[in-house]
Amino acid sequence: MTRIDRKFAALKAEGKKAFVSYTMAGDPDYDTSLELMKGLPGAGVDIIELGMPFTDPMADGPTIQLAGQRALDGGQTLQKTLDMAAEFRKGDDDTPIVMMGYYNPIYSRGVDRFLTDAKAAGIDGLIVVDLPPEEDEELCIPAQKAGLNFIRLATPTTDDRRLPKVLQNTSGFVYYVSITGITGAAAAQATDVGPEVARIKAATDLPLIVGFGIRSPETARAIASVADGAVVGSAIVKMVEEKRTVPEILSFVESLAAGAHSA
């Protein structure tokens, strides 16, 4: 079992839904980003999604695009992102870390080297949004063999014909994108998400976590009530952009986590 598997088993035993947070590694700088990351579990975060900054993040809206650019301008690299995870692991060996981003930086580093280094840094899973199931031999299969979960995105346009292909090599959990569009673009609606979650859960035993468009504790609760948990990214990253302090950001994260956990 991976840390992700153990986390979901523990949450299920407690009758709780998961709260997943996304932050961009290196935004606004390495030290602040690491301080924020270290504070997330104490604020109620069950799984940390750590963004890998990239110059062309096609699935992301302006908030996360700008976060990636700030990180890159500040000197963040894939190596520094792995270093952050390793530093975090010195004080926390339980909270799962999922690296989320795009394939180009991984490809540039070399898949075998990246997987070895990610495993050594304490990474538990990968979300690589621009690698479809047709390219599973490229990274997904090697990642699974290395002991990392490979988490796939399902969307409102993933129909019943496409769904089995999306699910076939997915592990850890399924990430359901609640809206058609980019991150931070629209508000998620539990009434829209509920039937889709039920449809996907009928095809897999994996936990299903919903992200995109969740900005408040109330929405986190509503979404978690129809799924296995909720992901918040842009709303947290926006506070970093606004130069809010780490304690202020963690207080907001705590309110989101409480919303999801009360579902």
Q: Does residue 185 register a pLDDT over 70?
A: no
Lowest mean pLDDT across 56-65, 129-138, 241-250: 56-65
Instruction: Quote the pTM value.
Output: 0.96
Q: What is the rounded average pLDDT for all residues in the chain?
A: 95
The CA-atom distances, in angstroms, between 245 and each of 87, 233, 240 are 21, 17, 8
Q: Does residue 183 register a pLDDT over 70?
A: no
pLDDT tens-place string over residues 188-217: 777 889 999 999 999 999 999 999 889 999
Instruction: State the catalytic residue, choosing from 5, 27, 46, 49.
Output: 49
What percent of the chain shows pLDDT beyond 90? 90
Residue 213 and residue 181: Cα distance in Å, rounded? 10
What percent of the chain shows pLDDT beyond 70? 97
For the record, the structure tokens of 86 come out as 């390793």
Instruction: State the catalytic residue, choosing from 60, 117, 196, 254.
Output: 60
Q: Where are the domains of the chain?
A: 3-261
Contacts of 152 (CB under 8 A, 6+ apart): 127, 133, 166, 167, 169, 170, 174, 175
Q: Does residue 178 register a pLDDT over 90?
A: no
Q: Does residue 186 register a pLDDT over 90?
A: no
Pick from 83, 207, 100: which is nearest to 148 by CA? 100
Return the CATH number of the domain spanning residue range 3-261.
3.20.20.70
pLDDT of residue 179: 77
Active site annotation includes 49: yes
